[in-house]
Amino acid sequence: MTPHRLLSAAAWTLFALVICDRSVAENRVDFFETKIRPVLVEHCYECHSADSDDLGGKLRVDDRPSMLVGGESGPVLVAGSPDESLIIQALRYDGLEMPPEAPLPEHIIKDFETWVSLGAIDPREPAAGDSPASRRDPVADDGALWSFVPRTNPAIPPVGDPDWPASPIDRFVLSSMEQAGLQPTQDADPRVLVRRLHHDLIGLRPTPHQIEAFVADFERHGSDATTRLVDRLLDSPQFGVRWGRHWLDVARYGESNGDDGLGRNATFPNAWRYRDYVIDAFNRDVPYDRFVTEQVAGDLLPADTAQQRNRQLVATGFLAIGSKPASAMNKDFAMDIVDDQINVVCTAVLGLSVACARCHDHKHDPIPTRDYYAMAGIFRSTETLYGAAGNEKLTAPPTPLHALRAELTPVRERPDRTAPPKLPAAYFDTVDALQPKLHERLDSQPRQLAPEGQLDYSANSFAGVQDARLTGRFNEPADSYTVAFWFRNNVKNDARLITAYLLSRAALDDKTLPGDHLGIGGSHDKSRTGKLFVFNGNAKKTSIAGTTVIPPDSWNHVSLVRDNNHVKVFLNGRLEITGELESTFGKSLDFSLAARSDNFAPLSGNLGDVVVLDRALTDDQAARLHESSGQPVGVRPAVPLGFAMGVRDKDKPADCKIHINGTGSKLGPVVARGALSAYREFVPDDVSNSASDFASIEMDPAQSGRLQLAQWLTHPDHPQTARVMVNRIWMYLFGRGIVTTPDDFGVYGARPSHPELLDHLANRFVQEGWSIKRMIRAIVLSRTYQISSHAHAEMLEKDPGNIWLSRHVRKRLDAESLRDAMLQASGQIDYAPAKGSAIVGVDMLINWPPGASTDLHRPSRHRSVYLCMLRHAPPKELAAFDLPDGVSVRGRRDVTTLPTQSLFLINSQFVVQQSRELARCVLDKDLHRDGDRVNAIFAAVLGRDPGPNEREQSLAYVRATETTLAAGVEDQQQRRLHAWASLAQALMTTNEFRYVD
């Protein structure tokens, strides 16, 4: 441990010196929504809610009054007293046992104990007319299905204080506030507001200069200064970094698969392109309806440029980056991918969990199993392109990727190669000049090759082969050699696992296959279907492949050239494959043509004019050999700019059968592709045709249906899409959504606290072109957003959860913002976008075999969104602070307070390094007094000068630390650096640094 880390207790008293912690009191509602409600829904509602078939123990736990009244055993809650609460006793299996199947994990029980200790705050209220004495089935309650009902156009309400609102938003908020007997607190101080806006819009701290400039502008021009600041931040490229990260949480972004259930975790080396797409989309303010459409069906949209086409292909990574269970012994692997796609689309866009209808009609939301399989047909008709899956087929069978091109429509006509080549005399002169060890035309029985099986010979089409091969031997062992010949394959490229083996330089019939094997890929690896590859046997299991798809029934010339451990393959005179490939044939002299050395995957077609040399031809010689034939040179395929995960339509779209109990072992009737059907029941008769049209969806039988699904999702009259997104935006700005369950707008999700405001915002969102920036601008320029987070005790008592928005809410920096703020303070941050990812080109399994440790993370000074987000192996700088795991949609992050977080702030090498960089910078400045150095550190970390007491305590701490270090650190300069770095680190751990008011 370095001296820097030996922080005395005096350093940590700076926590109290700078600011007090109010986060626990203000986050009790958040704690319930994120820790308690989901557990109740998952484990308790089936037997203890309004829609239970048989209400267990006459107890309901789906609202607070029911829990206080209790059931046959009495009240289950005693707020503030976990040991006296029956629910805690039942979870502990202390006399009572709930859930009856098995106890919940210990950390969940601890969450319930904490919740009860904090007063069991529970914002759930029974529906109107619903009480413990008088109950209704929530599905029969229209209010429970509020999100399915078309949006209203609410009138802007009157308020008692017409001078306070600055916008319609304020009038909706103030009206509800006044009805609750509350009034808004004072406006935020400009210094508080400038930091709040910087954090919320770009995820960064304002510099001291930016703070002072805004304060001066605000004093002169008031709200106009705020407008200018907001517009400047919205135009910053850092805006996309901040808001793109929000969407990546929703999109369950990750750069590896995560544990597949067998302990394997395959990298996704191309997932970063989707990350960059999202950041760019937010910066360009792509309309939200277009943003959704590109992610669901970007490959089916027209494009005017190659750049646009590439962008749309990358966007479909939304459907491909999900975590997948292992395919080994999993007959439902394809359906599991479909399930993930249905879940991410419906949860992210509609706020509905549709995936549980895979096995049975939804327990509480109006989603029948038929609707699930109507959507499943869309995604079963879609091919998911996730890549090599770590080159481990037990995790997932490999797939191609989208190739990103520099040209929209490359003009490269493929030559007609259907006729056999007519070889001129010049060709044979070229062959003779090479002095081959073997040259067989194969227009008649060969003399130097041994036929096996039936072969037909003709002067026109050479040797016809079908389940046959020709074998031969080199005269002596040779590390380098060349074999060239003409061939025609008449089997479809995906008809067999391997379309055909053309040549083996290997010992005949050796099952370990030591040697070189040249073949045409088949259905075994879709990324190589129809392409040449060279494989060096089962011992090394290494192969390299080309990029040109060889059409069946075409005549082609191929030359395999080995030069020691380097292999090249020329196809029709063009270099097709080049790379290192270890030689494994040893001293064997054998070779075979038209089949592999063990007779596997023989060529069905023709073989002609074989040339064998005991040396490697040069590139010029190989090109000249083909050129002398007079046949057209191969068309060099355009080299892709890169590759991207994504989806594309299958060749034959089809509807899906219902999977009984969610598995493919027993199938039910076919369901026509489509979307959710429940909305038809909620469209009033007097609405416009447009509002009712969206409820139906017409499929193009020639397509998967993803484009039609995207159009349905983004229809202006869809009741959920706009509501869900504006609620997400509101939540990111206020710390709490109008609907506090942003991913659940169903029956057991929260009801909106301000339903009229939600519809007002959703309508405005659609009318203003689905612009996310315009919506954010309108909200942050409201007076509601700009008020203080401080309030009188009476107001806190009346509204502890701040449901009625009478004050702003203090927010803790999320993991990325905390790291970025430390890089800012130290002066080390690089604001430029990072290029690619730490795992570009790395297709492998993380931490495999079991027990192995693979650290693929690399040091970076870029913003945290650019760190490598490996599932189940996250960046250490972020892992302690509630970073989503990327496995499921996470519209709202947890906010926990754990000992490991304090340990991170004390011991993290990253925190120590940033503190030391800041100390070094301050000590290198031309500052003559230690008091000025304290000022510089406070300005860098907290954006302000220290107060007199803070300055004196800081100086005393630095002197005391230097004295303490004197016994162990001889170098005075090192002691000084460590002491000032310790002060910097202490300030970086304070609440003032880690929270935003």
Q: Tens digits of per-residue pLDDT, 933-943? A: 999 999 999 99
Tokens of 508: 């005949």
Beta strand extents in 490-581 (DSSP E only):
498-506, 515-521, 532-535, 543-545, 555-563, 566-571, 574-580
| pLDDT, tens digit, 9 for 90 and up, residues 615-624 | 999 999 999 9
Average pLDDT estimate for 796-808 = 93
For the chain, give the mean pLDDT.
90
Task: Report the chain's terminal Cα–Cα distance, integer Å.
Answer: 35
Neighbours of 626 (CB within 10 A): 26
Q: Does the pLDDT at position 8 exceed 90?
A: no
pLDDT of residue 686: 58
- By the 8 A CB rule, do 515 and 506 touch? yes
Q: What is the 3-state secondary structure (H, E, C) of 99-124?
A: CCCCCCCHHHHHHHHHHHHCCCCCCC
Q: pTM for this structure?
A: 0.78
Question: What single DSSP character describes residue 361?
Answer: S
Beta strand extents in 526-652 (DSSP E only):
532-535, 543-545, 555-563, 566-571, 574-580, 590-593, 605-613, 642-644, 646-649
Q: Does the pLDDT at position 9 exceed 70?
A: no
pLDDT of residue 130: 45
pLDDT of residue 691: 53
| pLDDT, tens digit, 9 for 90 and up, residues 655-682 | 999 999 888 889 999 999 999 999 988 8
Q: Residue 126 — pLDDT band, cuts 50, 70, 90?
A: low
| pLDDT, tens digit, 9 for 90 and up, residues 906-916 | 999 999 999 99
Report the DSSP beta bridge partners of residue 996. Answer: 811
Tokens of 151: 């949006």
Q: Does the pLDDT at position 959 exceed 80?
A: yes
| pLDDT, tens digit, 9 for 90 and up, residues 259-308 | 988 889 999 999 999 999 999 999 999 999 999 999 999 999 999 999 99
Q: Residue 781 — pLDDT band, cuts 50, 70, 90?
A: very high
pLDDT of residue 122: 82
Q: Does the pLDDT at position 142 exceed 80?
A: no
Mean pLDDT: which of 478-482, 891-895, 992-996 is highest? 992-996
The residues, ordered by sequence, that sit 6+ positions from 378 with a Cβ below 8 Å of its Cβ are: 673, 704, 705, 706, 709
pLDDT of residue 951: 95
Question: What single DSSP character describes residue 637?
Answer: P
Q: Residue 82 — pLDDT band, cuts 50, 70, 90?
A: confident
d(CA 912, CA 923): 16
| pLDDT, tens digit, 9 for 90 and up, residues 434-454 | 999 999 999 999 999 999 998
Q: Who wins on pLDDT, 69 or 577?
A: 577
Closest listed residue to residue 729, CA positions, set 252, 188, 234: 234
Question: What single DSSP character describes residue 572?
Answer: T
Range in 414-423, 447-456, 844-853, 986-995 the model is least confident about: 844-853
pLDDT of residue 79: 79
Tokens of 541: 């299991």
d(CA 793, CA 352): 38
Q: Residue 421 — pLDDT band, cuts 50, 70, 90?
A: very high
Neighbours of 285 (CB within 10 A): 19
Q: Residue 853 — pLDDT band, cuts 50, 70, 90?
A: low
Average pLDDT estimate for 696-714 = 94
Q: Residue 125 — pLDDT band, cuts 50, 70, 90?
A: low
Tokens 């192996």 -> residue: 873
The residues, ordered by sequence, that sit 6+ positions from 609 with a Cβ below 8 Å of its Cβ are: 423, 439, 440, 441, 442, 462, 485, 486
| pLDDT, tens digit, 9 for 90 and up, residues 323-376 | 999 998 899 999 999 999 999 999 999 999 998 889 888 878 899 999 999 999
Q: Does the pLDDT at position 961 exceed 70?
A: yes
Class at the top of the CATH hierarchy for domain 425-633: mainly beta
Tokens of 42: 């998952």
The three-class DSSP label of residue 819 is: helix
Instruction: Compute φ and ψ for 786, nearest 5 degrees.
Output: -95, 10
Among left, alpha and beta (phi > 0; psi -120 to 50; other), residue 183 is beta
Q: Residue 16 — pLDDT band, cuts 50, 70, 90?
A: very low
Q: Who wins on pLDDT, 144 or 532?
A: 532
Q: Residue 13 — pLDDT band, cuts 50, 70, 90?
A: very low
Report the DSSP beta bridge partners of residue 811. Answer: 996
Neighbours of 377 (CB within 10 A): 23
Average pLDDT estimate for 824-829 = 97
pLDDT of residue 19: 33
- By the 8 A CB rule, do 24 and 897 touch? yes
- Per-residue burial over 141-157, b = 16 or more CB atoms within 10 Å of its CB, e = otherwise: beebbbbbbbbeeeeeb
Q: Residue ranges of the domains in the chain?
A: 1-26+895-997, 28-127+139-148, 287-406+646-726, 425-633
Tokens of 627: 């050129």
Instruction: Compute φ and ψ for 824, nearest 5 degrees.
Output: -60, -50
Q: Residue 120 — pLDDT band, cuts 50, 70, 90?
A: confident
Closest listed residue to residue 203, CA positions, set 950, 820, 989: 820
Beta-carbon-side half-sphere exposure of residue 567 (alpha carbons within 13 Å) = 25
d(CA 27, CA 118): 10
Percent of the chain at pLDDT > 70 equals 93
Range in 567-576, 598-607, 885-894, 965-974 the model is least confident about: 965-974
Tokens of 598: 């063990």
Tokens 């991918």 -> residue: 337
Tokens of 274: 């989707």
- For the chain, how long is the longest CA-to-CA vector? 106
Q: Residue 21 — pLDDT band, cuts 50, 70, 90?
A: very low
d(CA 393, CA 329): 11
Q: Residue 692 — pLDDT band, cuts 50, 70, 90?
A: low
Instruction: Compute φ and ψ for 996, nearest 5 degrees.
Output: -120, 125
- By the 8 A CB rule, do 664 and 333 touch? no
d(CA 346, CA 743): 9
Among left, alpha and beta (phi > 0; psi -120 to 50; other), residue 979 is alpha
- By the 8 A CB rule, do 112 and 88 touch? yes
- By the 8 A CB rule, do 402 and 309 touch? no
Q: Residue 14 — pLDDT band, cuts 50, 70, 90?
A: very low
Question: What single DSSP character describes residue 266?
Answer: B
Percent of the chain at pLDDT > 90 equals 71
Q: Does the pLDDT at position 850 exceed 80?
A: no
| pLDDT, tens digit, 9 for 90 and up, residues 164-184 | 999 999 999 999 999 999 999
pLDDT of residue 138: 41
d(CA 657, CA 671): 6
Instruction: Compute φ and ψ for 656, nearest 5 degrees.
Output: -115, 145
